Structures are given as C-alpha cells and as structure tokens.
Amino acid sequence: MIKTSDLVFRTMRIDHLPHIWCPGCGNGILMRDVAAAIDNLKLRQEKVVIVSGIGCSSRAAGYLDFNTIHTTHGRAIPFATGIKLASPELEVIVITGDGDCTAIGGNHLIHAARRNIEITVIVFNNNIYGMTGGQYSPTTPAGEWGTTAPYGNIDRQFDIPQLAADAGASYTARGTAYHTQQTIKAIQDGIAHPGFSLIDCYSPCPTYYGRKNKKGSAVDMMKYQRDHGVPAEQYAKLSDEEKTDKFIVGKLSQNEYPGYTQLYQQLIERSQERSQKKVYL
Amino acid sequence: MLCGNYEKGLMEKILVLNPDWCKGCGICAAFCPKDALEMIQGKVSLKENNQCILCGLCEQRCPDYAIFVSDSGK
Amino acid sequence: MKKNVLMQGNEACVEGALKAGMRFFAGYPITPSTEIAETCAVRLPRERGVFIQMEDEIASIAAVIGASVAGKKAMTATSGPGFSLMQENIGYAALAEIPCVIVNVQRCGPSTGMPTSPSQGDYMQSRWGTHGDHPVIAVSPSTVSEVYTEAVRCFNLSEKYRTPIIFLMDEIVGHMREGVEIPDAETLEIINRPYSDVKGISKTCYHVDEGEWVPRMLPFGEGQRYNITGLLHDESGFPTNDHAAAKKLMERLMSKISSNYEDIVRVEELLMNDAEISVICYGGTARAVKEAIFEARKYGVKAGMFRPITVWPFPEKELYPHLSRLKHIIVAEHNNGQMLLEVQRAAERSVTVSFIGKIDGTLIRPEEILQKINEVQHDKNQ
C-alpha cells in the first residue's frame, strides 16, 4: 500500500505519483496547496474541474482527482471559459504557468479578467520555461539569464496580479511555495470569490532558473521567498527603500464586480422578454 | 518508517516518511523548526535525538508528499 | 409542418445548428462568416443557450471544446485567417475526441486576401490544416436549404463519431438569400453522443466497447472523474509513451471514419447515368455547373455533375462506377486545383482530368464551364 497523507489520498490520483517534477521544484508544494484549498472548502469532487495548459505546471491536472483537462499551450483559460459558461455550477480552476498564462496565453488572461468570469487561475510562476529547458519567460527579471538570453535578458517582467487586476480581475493574490498557510488561504478565498480570481504563486525552479541565475539550491530559493515575502499589513508599514526587495504575500486586490455567468443569466432573461415581443425574425 | 515523539504524550499522531517518493531536495530538513530532520544518502530521515513536535510544516513544504503527520490509528 | 422561409446561408447555418441541438457558440467576427455570430447572438439566449464573442479565433475554438466537454453541442464559425488560427485546437478535438462543429465560410486568400470575394481555397486545409495524422470529416453545402439540413447532419456526425466536423461553406452560399424549405422536425434525425452510466473514478474513460467506435465518457460534472489530454493516451485517458497503446489509439481514430465511410459520405449526382463528361464540383460552384450541364444537354452533350457533399473523406467509391463510362472529367473549383488532386488520384489516369478554377475572387461563370465542356467534347471527338 502507498504511504501517503489523508489529504493526498483524498484529492490526488496516487497511482500516478510520484510526479515528474524535479527535486526541489515548488510545483508539488503548490499543487498540494490547491488540493488543500479545495479540501478545506469541502467542494464535491465531481463538481470541480481542473484545466491546465502546457508546460511544467500543466502536469498538475493529471495528478489531481477531479474532472481534469490538459489542454493546449496558452489556452487553458478559454477552455475554462467554455466549461464555466456551459455549466456554471462547476467550480473551474485553471492551473497554468508564467509562460502559458502571460506569453502565449496573455491575451486570454486579460480578456477573461475583463469579463470577470467566475474561474480561479493559479499561476505556478517559476520565472522560466522549465519544460523546454530554461528559456527566459515574461517573468524572468531583466538582467537575468536563460538559454535564450545568453547575454542577459533585456525584457522587462510582468507583474501578473497587477496585470490581471488592471484588466478587471476582481480578486488577485500572491502565494509562494514557502508560505503554504497564506497560499492555501489565498487560493481558498480565490475559489470562493464570485468573480475572476488570480493567485500568482512563486515556484522555485532550482534546475533551470536557479542554476542559470546562481540562486543556489531549492532550499536557498525557498529562503529567499521567506525573507522577502511579507503580509500586506506589514508591507504597508515598510519605508519605500525597504519595499524595494520585498513583495506582498496574500490578498492584493478584491472588488465586488458581478461575475460573467451571473450577468449572462440576466441577459438570457432579457432575451426571453424580447422574444415575446418578436423583435427579430 | 514510522516515527513519533512518544515521550511528549502525542501518541495519537505520528510522523511518516516515504523514502520511495522522497527526491532528496532537503526542504523539509532546512525549514524544520526543531531541526529534527536530516538528509542521509539523498533521503529524509529523523535525527536520532527525536525532536519532532509533529507541527506538520515539513508535510506542507514537501514537494513530493514523502513526509507527513498521520493519526497513528490509520 | 414544412415551412418556407427566405433566408441567408449564414442564417440557415444557425437555424440548422439550433435544430440539431447546438446550445453554445463562441466566435470572433470575420467576413464573410459574421452573420453566423450575429444570428447566434440573437437566437441562442432565447433558447437558454450561450453565445460569447471571444478575443480571437483560438479562444473561440478552445471555448467550444470546453463547452462540449461540459456536455453542450457547440459550434464556432470563421473564415480563412481565423480558420488558420484554429488549427491547433482542431487537432486537439480530433485526438481527445471532443465533438464540435467548425464552420468555415471560405473567402479569397491567402492571408487577408479579398475578404468579401468567394473562394474554395481551404479545401486542403480542412483536411490537413492541423499538424499530425488525424481523422477529419468536412461537408460542403451548395444551396441555402442544404446549409440547413447539412448543418444538422454535421452535428449528428460530430456526436456519433466524437470528432470535429468542418462545415466548409463558401462566400457564395453564406451570403446568398433564397427560399428555404424548413423540414418537419419529426423528419429530422437528431443524434446525441453515446454515454455510459459508470459513475465515480473512471480509469477506462477512453475504452471503446466491442462493436463501437467511440468512448462513452460522461460530460464533466456528472460524476465520472477522468482526465482529458492532447497527449497520446491509453484507455485511461492518461498520457502514454507506450507505442502499442499509441498505435491502438491512432488506428481507432482513423478507422472510426474510414470504416463508416458509407454513413459519412454523401454526394449529389446530376444526369450522371449516361454521362460521358462529368464536371466534379462542390459548394457554391455547383450552381454555375448545373446551369452549364443543362445547357450542354440541350446541344446533345452527355454531361453530368458529380458533387461531393461530404468533401472529406473524398467520395471516391461513389465515383468509381462512373469511371469506365466517363471519357472526360472536369474539376471546377474556386482555387488553383485542390480537389483536383483527389479526383486525379481516384481516376488513376483512366480518365483525362482537366481543370477550371479561379483565384482572383471572381466567380466561375456557367458559360466558362460550358466552353470547357465544349473544348473537351471537341478533343473527345478527334
């Protein structure tokens, strides 16, 4: 018999474990956070859908014991949009990566955020393209290195939650592989929030991002998260200088804009009235 | 391998290690608040002077689900 | 009761789809298919269905596949440039066996081309547009009435064989208005995808029973937890690197179409019984061809029209019986010779095949076809 925790046993397809991720990869921790958040919310397994795209992050779908669909590169969000609109009673959760979500899938991200469709997007953000071997991504900081940035990366990086919030996402938060409690809470709140939620989760990639950029071991990368991630209340008290190398862990923004399926339901009702008046055809 | 801090009256819970799934990243040992874990030949192990307080932080941060706190009855 | 309605081809496409049970449409505006999206925007909410205008065609097909996974009959509509963008996910739907209908109202290409001018330049793309070997069914209507009935058939084929169907319209048919005879609801067969009643964890969601062609997974949310992937997978739905499992899957995907050729293929034959010259055409082109055939018959030329309605797979078995009698085949299409290649392959040099096509956005006129018929008739007599 496989030795595993009750949580993992309840929420994952244990016959597909251990997973394929590298030693020290944060994705395993974050996948457990997602599972814990769903478990804490006591959602019915058959009503939860996990949608993923392509890349290291996308493999999470196959390990989680829900309705799971591993789609094409960058397109997890529009697949999820179709599922949610077709069956609004389903809890649709997208697991994506920094490249999947903001490079090839960037257009879909901003438009899903703009519609405020009630899906939850969890970004396993490892600042690199891991599956293809360490190319720079839209979240690789300028000045750092990748196999396709042999003279240093000159691209500036996206702040994913800021991007989503500016596009209309009504809940954004940041998590890390280190801050498990806060990350589980953020994911839980994001799922419960009745609008488009995005939780950007820093995931250490010691194999490619770490090695290319001399960030040390997985432990060193986790220590960086510990030493630089602070709760919002604490962050607010910091001086501008102190803020330069710190980031907020936990909720970043939230508003009560109505969700898309809710608005669509109202549209259906309006169309019924109009069809009685035989306005068209 | 079943380990537990029996002297402290926490009999109902135990720490379980699964070396088959452990990939040896060392995260659990590095962040254990009691420094109760060590890596031996690339696998996690409980140190001899058992300091584990069953806080479960290792379980939360293990990327491979290879260490966890379990109710001993199970 | 039958009903006669004046309708545009694009509108008829929506009405047929609704009749077939389409309750989800995602699309992006593009000439000359836009009226399909516009009509869906009006009609679907009234049927308590979903219309959504997505940010692009890639998102449109992705949302359509998502909706189908959740159990809805779903459709998108586009034209050349958008059809190119959809290709990757069409392959996904083919491999993951997600039913859906993709309407391509063809326009003159390549690139942005001539958006309001007719073309049939996407014939080969509808077969080979996505990467890798994959099954495809493509259907091309030539009248507005046929747009309606074939839209229903597209959904039926899609559900039955759990595969994406390309509804290959063209600008001629899409923008034309003519009287449509809406068939009796009772006379229309509506097919729904087969479902199993297994609940709980499904470890064999892609298993196919003896004598069947497709898996019977339930829609998401109905109590059967399984995995869908665009990676080659085994019966469990999980990725595999096992070549035997890959072979088994790929062979079934191909054979579910090839083994059901008779059920899938449909052609129209006009005056073919004694024809010595056959004009082979499809879609809107057939309208000019018909006129030319009738004209030629007046002069005593034994001309006939062979029109594939199902254009992929190419209806070669329907063509074979005519080959021994035919002296000449003319392929007429609004491109530089695409179905021509299929006809040449099927004719295997037993019949001379010539071609008439247009790639400048103009229509092939009946007199041009007639002239071609006269040319080959003249050659035949020499």
| Residue C174 clears pLDDT 80, i.e. is over it | yes
Burial letters for A52-71: b for 16+ Cβ neighbours within 10 Å, e otherwise? bbbbbbbbbbbbbbbbbbbb
> What band does B1 get if pLDDT is binned at 50, 70 and 90?
very low
**Number of CB pairs < 8 Å for A and B?**
80
Q: Which amino acid is at B54?
A: L
| Residue C83 clears pLDDT 90, i.e. is over it | yes
| Å between B32 CA and nearest CA of chain A | 12
* Mutation target vs B (from A1, A2, A3; most B CBs, 10 A cutoff): A3
**Number of CB pairs < 8 Å for A and C?**
140
Q: What's the pLDDT score for residue C2?
A: 74
CB-based contact, A217 to chain B, within 8 Å:
yes
- Domain at B2-71: CATH code: 3.30.70.20
Question: What is the average pLDDT across C253-282?
Answer: 98
Structural domains in chain A plus CATH codes: 6-277 (3.40.50.970)
Q: Round to whole Å and give the CA distance between A92 and A48.
A: 6
Question: What is the average pLDDT across C301-321?
Answer: 98
Q: What's the pLDDT score for residue C3?
A: 82
Q: Judge: A28–B62 Cβ closer than 8 Å, yes or no.
A: yes
Q: Round to whole Å and give the CA distance between C247 and C250.
A: 5
Q: Round to whole Å and give the CA distance between C368 and C106.
A: 22
- If you average pLDDT over every residue of chain B, what do you get? 87
Length of chain C: 382
Q: What's the pLDDT score for residue C203?
A: 76
- CA dihedral sign, ordered C174, C175, C178, C184: positive
Residues 254-273 of A with CB under 8 A from C: 264, 267-268, 270-272
- Least-confidence region, from A162-166, A229-233, C81-85, C88-92: A229-233
Q: What's the pLDDT score for residue C226?
A: 95
- Please report which residue ranges of chain A form alpha helices under DSSP H: 6-11, 27-40, 60-63, 76-86, 98-102, 106-115, 160-167, 180-192, 211-212, 218-228, 232-236, 240-243, 260-277
Q: Judge: C45–A61 Cβ closer than 8 Å, yes or no.
A: no
Q: What's the pLDDT score for residue B12?
A: 78
> What band does C204 get if pLDDT is binned at 50, 70 and 90?
confident
Residue C11: CB atoms within 10 Å = 24
Instruction: Give the side-chain half-sphere CA count within 13 A for C56.
Output: 20
Give the residue among A137, A112, A115 at the shortest CA–CA distance from A126. A137
Q: Which amino acid is at C367?
A: E
Whether chains A and B touch (3+ CB pairs under 8 A) is answered by yes
Q: What's the pLDDT score for residue A281?
A: 46
Q: Round to whole Å and give the CA distance between C361 and B27.
A: 65
Choice between A24 and B2, residue whose per-residue pLDDT is larger: A24
Read out DSSP for A158-221? P-HHHHHHHHT-SEEEEEESS-HHHHHHHHHHHHHSSS-EEEEEE---IIIIIHHTT--SHHHH
C55: chain A residues, CB-CB within 8 Å: 78, 107-108, 111
ipTM of the complex: 0.97
Chains touching C, CB cut-off 8 Å, 3+ pairs? A
Q: Round to whole Å and give the CA distance between C233 and A222.
A: 35
Q: What's the pLDDT score for residue C177?
A: 97
Q: What's the pLDDT score for residue C1?
A: 63
| Å between C30 CA and nearest CA of chain A | 18
CB-based contact, B12 to chain A, within 8 Å:
no
- The burial of A227, by beta-carbon neighbours within 10 Å (0-12 exposed, 13-18 middle, 19 or more buried), is given as exposed
Q: Round to whole Å and give the CA distance between C8 and C143.
A: 10
The residues pairing with A250 across neighbouring beta strands, listed in sequence order, are A174
Domain boundaries, chain B: 2-71
Q: Round to whole Å and give the CA distance between A33 and A10.
A: 14
Q: Which among A5, A218, A223 has CB closest to B65?
A: A5
Q: Judge: A69–C55 Cβ closer than 8 Å, yes or no.
A: no
Whether chains C and A touch (3+ CB pairs under 8 A) is answered by yes
Q: Which among A16, A83, A86 has CB closest to C238?
A: A16
C45: chain A residues, CB-CB within 8 Å: 267-268, 270-272
pTM score, whole prediction: 0.96
DSSP letter at A258 equals: P
CB-based contact, A32 to chain B, within 8 Å:
yes
Which pLDDT tens digit goes with each residue over C142-165?
999 999 999 999 999 999 999 999
Nearest residue of chain B to residue A30 (CA atoms): B63
Q: What's the pLDDT score for residue A276?
A: 66
Residue-wise pLDDT tens for chain A (281 aa)? 678 999 999 999 999 999 999 999 999 999 999 999 999 999 999 999 999 999 999 999 999 999 999 999 999 999 999 999 999 999 999 999 999 999 999 999 999 999 999 999 999 999 999 999 999 999 999 999 999 999 999 999 999 999 999 999 999 999 999 999 999 999 999 999 999 999 999 999 999 999 999 999 999 999 999 999 999 899 999 999 999 999 999 999 999 999 999 999 999 999 998 766 654 44
Q: Round to whole Å and give the CA distance between A77 and A115.
A: 12
Tell how far CA C117 is from the center of its chain. Answer: 20
| Residue C320 clears pLDDT 50, i.e. is over it | yes
Structural domains in chain C plus CATH codes: 3-187 (3.40.50.970), 269-381 (3.40.50.920)
